[in-house]
Amino acid sequence: MNPAQQPGRKPMTLHRLREMQAQGEKITMLTAYDAMFARLVDEAGVDCILVGDSLGMIVQGHASTVPVSMEEMAYHTRCVARGNRTAWVIGDLPFGSYQESREQALRSSVALMQAGAHMVKLEGGGWTAETVHFLTERGIPVCAHLGLTPQSVHALGGYRIQGRDEAGAATLRRHARELADAGAAMMVLELMPSAVAREVQADNPGVMTIGIGAGAGTAGQVLVLHDMLHVTRGKLPRFVRNFMAEGGSIEEAVRRYVHAVKDGSFPDEAVHGY
């Protein structure tokens, strides 16, 4: 039976996610920003829901994620938590909510956890390792985020593939190792060559890598819900697959996504990889 169709699904835990990785079962993740879609993707069998600061672009109409506030992230996390029943909920720490100090990061993380998140996510490597260590020592599960980090899009020169040259790839691998040593349990790898993402996972077997435009060699995959439903207007990145193309309901499209990630047919390296 497809995992997404199993009745009476138990609430997801970090321990269960690690078991899935150890057993070779791919982890599925989608974004959600409200109670209705949280309930839908949960019932369709998605393992993890990311309350992403991508809501700044998807819900609020901004050109980037930078304008999203801490208060807005807490609000949307509360909405998702009310709709969700079993998925593991990850809340994004928005731009400016953790860069000032470790203590600021702790206050922001507490706000998201109290709003209903099970884990917080922050972007970048290098200096962030100390923050990750500070949070995990205090019982807050952390998901790191490397590669294209949208909060730093202006510093990166736009939405560009990261780690294409030898120096860039080495930096990504070093930052991943530092974040893993600091206690990050999960790591989103965005818009990087598939070979680099595979190396990051191989270097850090105890970390669950979640790819988005990073090939099939990660422990799981994530997409923006509106992208994979082909609701987002304009040109979509090549790593996005339109799961509504086969027709049917939104819930069926999400089930197709879950099944495709689980059976390894998505992403297709020839179509979606770099």
Annotated catalytic residue 190: yes
Give the residue from 3, 30, 59 showing the smallest Cα distance to 188.
30
Provide DSSP, 110-170: HHHHHHT-SEEE---SSTHHHHHHHHHTTT--EEEEEES-GGGHHHHTSS-----SHHHHH
Task: Report the run of H or E that residue 24 belongs to, with start and end.
Answer: none
Q: Which of 123, 178, 190, 199 is catalytic?
A: 190
Amino acid at 154: H
Q: Which two tokens stand for residue 245?
A: 């193309």
Query: Collapsing DSSP states into helix, strand and coil, what is residue 264?
Result: coil
Residue 37 in contact with residue 82, Cβ under 8 Å? Answer: no
Tell me the catalytic residues: 190
